[in-house]
Structure 1
Amino acid sequence: MAILVLAEHDNHSLASATLNTLAAANQIGSEIVVLVAGLNAADVASAAAQIAGVSKVLLADDAAYAHQLPENVAPLLANLGRDFSHVLAPATSNGKNILPRVAALLDVDQISEIISVEAADTFKRPIYAGNAIATVQSSAPVKVITVRTTGFDPVAAEGGSAVVEAIGAAQNAGISAFVGEALAKSDRPELTAAKIVVSGGRGMGNGDNFKHLYSFADKLGAAVGASRAAVDAGFVPNDMQVGQTGKIVAPQLYIAVGISGAIQHLAGMKDSKVIVAINKDEEAPIFQVADYGLVADLFEAVPELSDQL
């Protein structure tokens, strides 16, 4: 069975989320085609062609796809998807914006954020903020699926030699236009790709106190996140939020500082390999999922830990 995977990229480089999605595709079937839709994205297509297990790369290079507007990409993906058994994309904001439209155009149901492949038509996905796992079976002729990238280890970025095929007939729906974007820039690793994440919660007290976490994270080479409570309180911007309504992370090491451990937050980080919690409340729910817990005042513990690095 043939599987079509939508590549996540910025027209210059392939996002690591694509590698995780391809890992899921490998568990479904062996014939995998990657679609790169963008503008001047030949380098992205070349990178995709070198990924182990990819059979072919389709390159849709046109101004209509420059910013991957879902109104333009979805019809392209749906038209191509009719010839495939599965259409997959990472469960990023981009993938979650495009694939529901694809499912609607194909008149099939979408399966969201799978974390396991049980069979070609059966998948597992979290529900109720990750407190339960649903096993979903689909009889749809084309299975449209978003993949939670933390559920799959990435495939090798090299080792393949797929052919790149250019496709034409660009589709511009003309109902939306790219106006601009404001990107947060940081010297620290990107939150969803970092191997170490240090997050702060309401216990940080205010935004200025996050300087302790920034210093600590810089010594660890870590990304800095936050709980929803810290974001809602205005301590930090919302692009730092980890949780069900924020970013889903699964680093090798997750350090939760001053975070109580509400269900909303746990849903975004409990798949981390090692979880360390620092909280002065020994009854905080975060200790129930932590591998290591330190009951201490964070304003004493974090500087002491930082000094030891």
Structure 2
Amino acid sequence: MTTLVIAEHDNQTLKAATLNVVAAAREISIFSDGQVHVLVAAVGAASVARAAAEVEGVAKVIYVDGPSLAEGLAENLAEQVLAVAGDYSHILFPATASGKNTAPRVAAKLDVAQVSDITKVVSADTFERPIYAGNAVAMVQSSDAKKVITVRTTGFGAAQATGGSASIQTQPAVADSGKSVFVSREVSKNDRPELTAAKIVVSGGRALGSAEKFQEVMMPLADKLGAAIGASRAAVDAGYAPNDLQVGQTGKIVAPQLYIAAGISGAIQHLAGMKDSKVIVAINKDSEAPIFSVADYGLEVDLFAAIPELLMVL
């Protein structure tokens, strides 16, 4: 029983999420007494394939290079996964935007039930996944011969990026499905760490009051700490921060070493995206704010007073 991991990349570098998925695949391989293979479907990305081959625990890398895979369109990537799926008992995707877009297509074509957002491997066919915005954990057992799984990356430590010596096997790319066309991509330029991979995250909420105050208060704190910037859904909906900064059930799931929540009440939707952080610091003048229920440290003060004082001692 061999497990296939679908690598996430940008045709230049292997994304950190892939390392977490490899870690989950290695746990499955212990129960199934199998190997872990990685599929790199791309164009002109031999360096990504080499990086995948160096990941500890990977036995083989399947490198597919073709123009139909240049932009990672879900329809084409799903067809490529299906082209190699016959040899695998488990097919794992990271629970990222790309993984969530592609995995259901693969599962539907294979006529199997997808197992979504797993955070723990119990056995080769049994997994844990959060439900009800993370307030409960379901244990799911799949009887399908092939298991299509998305992995919540914060639930697994990252596999070592070096130390492996996997072989690299090339295969032909599938033809363009013609079902979608790449038009353009707008990429946010940011010198700060990537939100989902950062060791420190500082997030602002609706209490900041405006986009100007969000910038004025949160950016200096992030700069001092070398942190990524996040925001609550309320702050995003109010226009204080862009959508790609949203942390929560309908945003990004993070689990940094340190999470600072400033002016965030702590709605269930937000807690689902950050409560696995190692240390949580809440700054809120409302003593009844739900964020304090998950915080390791709480400051019941006005954030506009607390953060400038904090900056003075950093």
TM over 0.5, shorter chain: yes
Match of 2:299 among 294, 298, 308: 294
Instruction: Give the structure 1 partner of residue 28 of structure 2.
Output: 28
Task: Judge which range, 78-87 or 146-155, deviates more.
Answer: 78-87
> What TM-score, normalized by structure 2, do the two folds share?
0.97
What secondary structure, in the 3-state scheme, does the structure 1 residue paired with 2:168 have?
strand
Does 2:53 correspond to 1:49? Answer: yes
Match of 1:95 among 91, 95, 99: 99
Does 2:193 correspond to 1:208? Answer: no
CA-CA distance at 1:83 after TM superposition: 1.5
Do the aligned partners of 1:74 and 1:99 also contact (CA within 8 Å) in 2? yes
Task: Judge which range, 12-21 or 30-39, deviates more.
Answer: 30-39
Does 2:177 correspond to 1:173? Answer: yes
Mapping of 1:1-309 within 5 angstroms?
1-29=1-29, 30-210=34-214, 211-309=216-314
Do the aligned partners of 1:75 and 1:105 also contact (CA within 8 Å) in 2? no
Do the aligned partners of 1:87 and 1:142 also contact (CA within 8 Å) in 2? yes
Do the aligned partners of 2:275 and 2:294 also contact (CA within 8 Å) in 1? yes
The one-letter code matched in structure 2 to 1:27 is E
What secondary structure, in the 3-state scheme, does the structure 2 residue paired with 1:82 have?
helix
Task: Judge which range, 266-275 or 162-171, deviates more.
Answer: 162-171
The one-letter code matched in structure 1 to 2:238 is A
The one-letter code matched in structure 1 to 2:241 is V
Q: Which ranges of 4 or more aligned residues in structure 1 deviate by more than 2 Å?
A: none
Aligned equivalents of 1:169, 1:286: Cα separation in 2:
48
Aligned equivalents of 1:250, 1:84: Cα separation in 2:
30
> What TM-score, normalized by structure 1, do the two folds share?
0.99
Do the aligned partners of 1:82 and 1:106 also contact (CA within 8 Å) in 2? no
Aligned equivalents of 1:36, 1:169: Cα separation in 2:
11
The one-letter code matched in structure 2 to 1:54 is V
User: Any idea what the Cα deviations from partners look like across 1:132-151, whole Å, max 9, x if unmatched?
Assistant: 10000001010000000000
The one-letter code matched in structure 2 to 1:154 is A
The one-letter code matched in structure 2 to 1:266 is L
What secondary structure, in the 3-state scheme, does the structure 1 residue paired with 2:139 have?
strand
Aligned equivalents of 2:65, 2:41: Cα separation in 1:
6
Aligned equivalents of 1:117, 1:133: Cα separation in 2:
13
Give unpaired runs (5+ residues) of structure 1: none
The one-letter code matched in structure 1 to 2:273 is G
Give unpaired runs (5+ residues) of structure 2: none
Do the aligned partners of 2:210 and 2:240 also contact (CA within 8 Å) in 1? yes
